Amino acid sequence: MLYQTTQEHEELRAKVREFAEAEVKPIAFMLDQNNQFPTEVVQKMGKLGIMGLPYEKKYGGAGADALSYAIAVEELARVDGGVGVILSAHTSLGTYPIYAFGNEEQKKKYLPDLCSGKKVGAFGLTEPNAGSDAGGTETTAEDMGDHYLLNGEKIFITNGGQADTYVVFAVTTPGIGTRGISALIVEKGWEYVEGLLRLGVNRVSMGVQSFDDRMLRWMNRRHDAESARKAYSILENAGVENISIDLIFGISSLTDQDWSDTLAKALAISPRGVLPKHLSCYQLSVEPGSALASLVEKGRYEEASDEMCMNQYAMLCEAMASAGYHHYEISNFALPGYEALHNSAYWRHVPYLGLGPGAHSLVCSPVAAGLHGGMSAVNDDVLGKVMMRRWNNPDLKAYLDAAGAGDFSLAGGCEILTGDQIMTEKIMLALRTSEGIDSEYLERHCPAKALERALMVGNLIKTPAGKICIPEDHYFVSDGIVSDIL
């Protein structure tokens, strides 16, 4: 059969070719080299009107034919095969099953956003043991009454990390072969966040680290700035009001301008124009034994200078103060009333419970003494009790197996704190906060002369509440101040 293109087809070809030459070709090599998803290009493809070419206009599509869609894929693939596949997987794999097999409610709910490119689609069929033969699908979807519990692993999913809507294949009726496999529409984020909210979670902290994709790649992060924004918007839309963002500064290749941009983008992250309630901003440190330490040893990473780190910390303090944040701990900033309760327990050195792999807990009770045999030297704060730090197994599978078996005890390890450790930690942690520490406690445990000197030179000051703290403009050198008085 001879396919003859019409004038409209050729006009579409010219439009997509012009777009591909201008927007895709210049970055095609970089995308391959950095294994990067072209988020901005895909957004522009939405604006160009090619993300829903073969679908009916009533669902937000362009109402064009299959040949138009093929031309668009062909023109993109002409300059970059990867971008062509993004469009074809989105259109044929992520969107078509909903268009062809979804009910009217599903079509109205999902197709307009997919066709406009506001959302990206993906298709989750392949598994480690199910490739050409999809009958080998091992992922299961168990009907739990008001929801399905989806459990399994998928591989090679085009748009997998960036998509918003997934058509996922799973066994719903075991034992009857391929007829027992169903396709489920999965929206990224929603179910997970709603599950968290149902469990009573009322605050979420996001490890964004940077809004600069170059920096994120250097840090070996799986996300890019755009997916961080999307995740934030999912949380906000699901009703999580109290969201915290983690950022990192003091990386030698992070310029002051990059840092300033990241701070501005963090404050503007909410599509609703609401400031994030909390920010935790940490200076990159080289920990012995870490991958970064080995780069330093091999001369492949040079640490940022103290001067640069100090300057970026000052920029941070200034930006947060002008946005109205309370600098309540060296690395933490909160809108009034949104100081982190769980972290505050850590800084006040009062017992806290850590859930999840690798999480630490501080336990102070006679029960702990009974469990782990014996009393340690304790100071007067915890007289008659044992203070113990314990940590969960950092291995996710081992942790889940233990939790699944109802074993919430010490999957990782523990240490019983000595009186000296308790005292040092209490002083060190409290002096990280703007609240400070009871002057009477400091006087009891620190050499009088060292304390007097620190107060005299302004390394320590008295708070209106009669406590002692480090003034904000000395936070950057707090480690030195604490070691001088201990």
Residues lying near ligand FAD in the complex (CB under 6 A) are found at: 85, 89, 93, 122-126, 131-133, 156-158
Give 124 or 276: the residue with its C-beta nearer to ligand FAD: 124
* Beta-carbon count within 10 A of 167 CB: 23
Give 84 or 102: the residue with its C-beta nearer to ligand FAD: 84
Shortest Å distance, C-beta 154 to ligand FAD: 7
CA distance 374 to 416: 10
Q: In what order do the strands lie in the sheet with 360-365?
A: 360-365, 386-391, 413-416
CA distance 474 to 374: 41
Give 157 or 254: the residue with its C-beta nearer to ligand FAD: 157
Shortest Å distance, C-beta 82 to ligand FAD: 9
Shortest Å distance, C-beta 361 to ligand FAD: 40
CA dihedral 427, 432, 436, 442 (to 10 degrees): 20
Shortest Å distance, C-beta 297 to ligand FAD: 38
Give 40 or 153: the residue with its C-beta nearer to ligand FAD: 153
Helix (H) or strand (E) holding 1: none
What residue number has its CB nearest to ligand FAD?
131
Give 126 or 439: the residue with its C-beta nearer to ligand FAD: 126
Shortest Å distance, C-beta 103 to ligand FAD: 23
The Cα-based distances of 31 to 39, 87, 331, 398 in angstroms read 11, 16, 34, 37
CA distance 375 to 31: 59
CA distance 325 to 279: 9
Shortest Å distance, C-beta 100 to ligand FAD: 17
DSSP 300-358: S--PPPHHHHHHHHHHHHHHHHHTT-EEEETTEEE-TT---HHHHHHHTT--B---STT
92 strand-pairing partners:
none
The Cα-based distances of 345 to 138, 206, 429, 430 in angstroms read 43, 20, 10, 10
Give 101 or 156: the residue with its C-beta nearer to ligand FAD: 156
Give 122 or 481: the residue with its C-beta nearer to ligand FAD: 122
Shortest Å distance, C-beta 359 to ligand FAD: 34
Shortest Å distance, C-beta 40 to ligand FAD: 21
CA distance 8 to 14: 10
CA distance 79 to 73: 10
Helix (H) or strand (E) holding 38: none
Give 42 or 89: the residue with its C-beta nearer to ligand FAD: 89
